[in-house]
Structure 1
């Protein structure tokens, strides 16, 4: 049984869409958060009081460095070393109205004394003491740079974390589904084939779940068929084993007659021998079929029924049955019309049916009462009825039930019917065969 499913979304496409969606959200988060953070940083460092506090801090450090190094106005280039350690600071130094040092330019690029210095904020000018006098210093710093750098690093980490979280959330759903499938498979391994594997989504994993369900149903059906076949074979073995008992009893009876020489002449002796051979051959055929059923795993083949003359098909077997019952001390009264026509029978089934009826009569019939046998004809049907009085003792009911079940089964195989009427005093079996007139 093959699982059929519509073409679904590939896991590759699902993962791609998940990563794409996570990437878009992470980028949007990065852009928005970066914009907001930069706005906050800019607003913070636009405050002149904040800027002045940073300027004061670095001017103090510069003054200490100048005093420690003993720098004069002629040695201002030595400040480059301090600038190299404070890269965020920009310095301009003026002496006697002229720029004598600029941290970003050489001395030949320094502005002239005619430049307009009023453009710079006044709180950015400080006086510092050199070894040979006082100079005016203009200081400016990119104090927000560190904040921008830290904010960028934090924003990158947060965006990457968001990307990972979204991706892990999508993967987690699939992992939970896979774990659920694993638990479902363990339940199936435990033998519970009624349990349905969870099927959700429309991808390769879903197809796997549907395949497991299809396999579960197929395996369940196969087990059901195997159990049914085993049960059928067991029933067949039981039925045939039961059917072997009556002909075996007949063989023993005829053998005792021959052993005790209770025959009138050689012709009757040969007749008993022929009956023994016939019964043994029937038992052999039945045992061969029993072996065939017990070792074969295929479904049983039905015996083929065919139309034959009612007199030819039934007379000999019914005569043997009556004779055998009489040998066992029963009184039989057969009232057969034997109208011209054909009945649908299978010879092997017919022998087994009469043997089962014979066995039941011997077990349950009152030996002092008559056993009646008669035939009746209807449109398309021939009915042969066996009736006997019952004794009061309880017999082997299991054997009785098996025998009746066998008779009904074989009559159905021949497209006929078996009707049983039973009261405490009387027992009647009616065999209805398909019949057509000549």
Structure 2
């Protein structure tokens, strides 16, 4: 039995650690590459001057469009917040008019702070509604690209983390699907299929438990089959051994019946009753033998036969026996030009069992009705008779019917029986394998 080295929780924790380590390496690698690229391009003086000039132009258009004066500080603040990542400084008449870095407490410097050398070297002229001023725009122009790169790096690292985790989980999910498929195979009766055991976690332990259950169940089935085989062998041997003394007993009783013993005497009644019981016991023994003999056989050898030929011969033989026993028989319908798959020996035993039931339980004063019915798929024989008042109940074991049902099933057919008050009905159903073509007249 497999020992559990790692539980599912431990495997999941280890998988998360590995995924986090891999995603961390990817994140740091991407960050180093992106930072180098941004630093090499966006922190150059050319890029800085080009970007500042572009913002100066945009700010000049904003001032012109809104006809702003150099003292419209609120409008300047809104533009700075909208553009983001920049710092705006405005001078007019050599005095400071606006600085985006100043707080409310610093606004006292407006109109007082003078232009310095840095402003003179880096400022650009902008025309306001109250005259020309000097504007300086500085910015963290690369910051937005750092933020975008950070977002992309974080997304990439997250995808790596999820990919590693999902790939690790996927292996066990695939194994669960395999176990599910193998369980369905066991449910379908393939008990010889061995369960696949992979790993040492809880899932593997479940698979191993199912495998042990399969082995135990298969052993029990084999033991049951062995006991059933022994029981069938014992019953069939006993049934066969009973035939010899039963045959002798029936023969002796037939000799006794031939003696001139009036039936009205006690001796005559005893002989007649014993003879009837002996025949009944022989019938039960034959049914028991046939039933267990069928149970031992695995499959019937079937052959395709024409319904009109085979069924006609069997029905004719049975009708002859019924007429000899003073039965009235009515036949309705016609035999179709079709073929069915049957085993001739077992088909004959089916009709013999039906005939035996008719002779034992059918009322000779009433008509036995036989009806043929067919379509493109099936052919059916319906038989109905009235049960004798003295024998209104069938044998308790119903081995005769069970033997008929089993033989019909082995021939891929079906058998049904029903009783409505004193009317007993049976149905034999066969499946048409092909339709016989009518012969062309010359």
TM-score scaled to structure 1, two decimals? Answer: 0.51
Deviations 1:292-351 (A, max 9, x none): xx9xxxxxxxxxxxxxxxxxxxxxxxxxxxxxxxxxxxxxxxxxxxxxxxxxxxxxxxxx
**Correspondence 1:345-364 to 2 at 5 A:** none
Query: In the alignment, does 2:215 pair up with 1:217?
Result: yes
User: 2 CA distance for matches of 1:64 and 1:114?
Assistant: 26
Give 3-state SS (helix, strand or coil) of 2:195's partner: coil
User: 1 CA distance for matches of 2:208 and 2:71?
Assistant: 89
The answer (yes or no) to whether the contact 1:93–1:99 under 8 Å persists in 2 is: yes
User: Paired residue for 1:148?
Assistant: 146
Query: In the alignment, does 2:124 pair up with 1:126?
Result: yes
Give 3-state SS (helix, strand or coil) of 2:153's partner: helix
User: Paired residue for 2:44?
Assistant: 47
Unaligned runs of 5+ in 2: 259-284, 293-442
User: Paired residue for 1:33?
Assistant: 30
Pairwise CA distance, 1:248: 6.5
The answer (yes or no) to whether the contact 1:90–1:140 under 8 Å persists in 2 is: yes
Deviations 1:333-388 (A, max 9, x none): xxxxxxxxxxxxxxxxxxxxxxxxxxxxxxxxxxxxxxxxxxxxxxxxxxxxxxxx
User: 2 CA distance for matches of 1:30 and 1:205?
Assistant: 34
**Correspondence 1:14-413 to 2 at 5 A:** 14-73=11-70, 78-95=75-92, 97-105=94-102, 106-109=106-109, 117-118=117-118, 122=121, 124-244=122-242
- Sort the Cα spacing of 1:140 and 1:180 in 2 relative to 1 into closer, same or farther, 3 A: same
The answer (yes or no) to whether the contact 1:127–1:136 under 8 Å persists in 2 is: yes
The answer (yes or no) to whether the contact 2:26–2:157 under 8 Å persists in 1 is: yes
Unaligned runs of 5+ in 1: 261-286, 295-438
Give 3-state SS (helix, strand or coil) of 1:93's partner: strand
User: 1 CA distance for matches of 2:65 and 2:111?
Assistant: 28
The answer (yes or no) to whether the contact 1:77–1:101 under 8 Å persists in 2 is: no
User: Paired residue for 1:397?
Assistant: none
CA RMSD of superposed structures (Å): 4.0
User: 1 CA distance for matches of 2:197 and 2:125?
Assistant: 81
Pairwise CA distance, 1:237: 2.5
User: 1 CA distance for matches of 2:135 and 2:117?
Assistant: 12
- Sort the Cα spacing of 1:116 and 1:152 in 2 relative to 1 into closer, same or farther, 3 A: same
Give 3-state SS (helix, strand or coil) of 1:192's partner: coil
- Sort the Cα spacing of 1:244 and 1:121 in 2 relative to 1 into closer, same or farther, 3 A: farther
User: 2 CA distance for matches of 1:74 and 1:242?
Assistant: 125
User: 2 CA distance for matches of 1:70 and 1:135?
Assistant: 14
User: 1 CA distance for matches of 2:155 and 2:75?
Assistant: 40
- Sort the Cα spacing of 1:239 and 1:53 in 2 relative to 1 into closer, same or farther, 3 A: same
Give 3-state SS (helix, strand or coil) of 2:168's partner: helix
The answer (yes or no) to whether the contact 1:90–1:139 under 8 Å persists in 2 is: yes
Pairwise CA distance, 1:245: 5.8
User: Paired residue for 1:5?
Assistant: 2
Deviations 1:23-60 (A, max 9, x none): 33223322332232223222221122222221111111
Give 3-state SS (helix, strand or coil) of 1:23's partner: helix
User: Paired residue for 1:382?
Assistant: none
Pairwise CA distance, 1:148: 2.1
User: 2 CA distance for matches of 1:214 and 1:235?
Assistant: 31
User: 2 CA distance for matches of 1:257 and 1:197?
Assistant: 67
The alignment of Structure 1 onto Structure 2 pairs a total of residues equal to 262
The answer (yes or no) to whether the contact 1:199–1:210 under 8 Å persists in 2 is: yes
The answer (yes or no) to whether the contact 1:59–1:126 under 8 Å persists in 2 is: yes
User: 2 CA distance for matches of 1:225 and 1:255?
Assistant: 44
User: 2 CA distance for matches of 1:109 and 1:255?
Assistant: 143
User: 1 CA distance for matches of 2:134 and 2:82?
Assistant: 21
TM-score scaled to structure 2, two decimals? Answer: 0.50
Give 3-state SS (helix, strand or coil) of 1:165's partner: helix
Deviations 1:184-212 (A, max 9, x none): 12222222221111111111111121122
The answer (yes or no) to whether the contact 1:95–1:136 under 8 Å persists in 2 is: yes
